[in-house]
């Protein structure tokens, strides 16, 4: 009898990779904090969607900590996400 070929499986998805949905509490806090400073309808949900696609949860938590500590968004890619949302909401 011929031996069975080895079973190959796709790697399990990485739970903390960009593109995975963040925990519900983090998403709610992100939207609440964003809505305190933005009056543009749709901006905060756009930003959250793009942040989830661009950053892992751990990366987003680190950015959140810097924002809370220093009150600024110093990450250039993070700033670009905000600009992309504004462009989409006003110019597309």
Mean pLDDT of the chain: 81
Model-wide pTM > 0.85: no
Per domain, the residue ranges of the chain are 41-91
3-state secondary structure of 60: helix
Q: What are the tens digits of pLDDT across the range 29-69?
A: 999 988 998 999 999 999 999 999 999 999 999 888 888 78
3-state helix, strand, coil split of the chain in percent (to 5) is 60, 0, 40
- Number of CB atoms found within 10 A of residue 47's CB: 21
Of the CA atoms within 13 Å of residue 80, those in its CB half-sphere come to: 5
């Amino acid at each position: 009898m011929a031996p069975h070929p080895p079973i190959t499986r796709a790697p399990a998805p990485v739970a903390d990779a960009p593109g995975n949905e963040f925990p519900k509490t983090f998403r709610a806090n992100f939207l609440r904090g964003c809505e305190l400073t933005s009056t543009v309808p749709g901006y905060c949900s756009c930003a959250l969607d793009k942040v989830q696609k661009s950053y892992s949860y751990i990366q987003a938590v680190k950015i959140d900590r810097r924002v809370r500590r220093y009150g600024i968004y110093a990450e250039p890619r993070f700033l670009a996400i905000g600009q992309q949302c504004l462009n989409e909401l006003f110019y597309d």
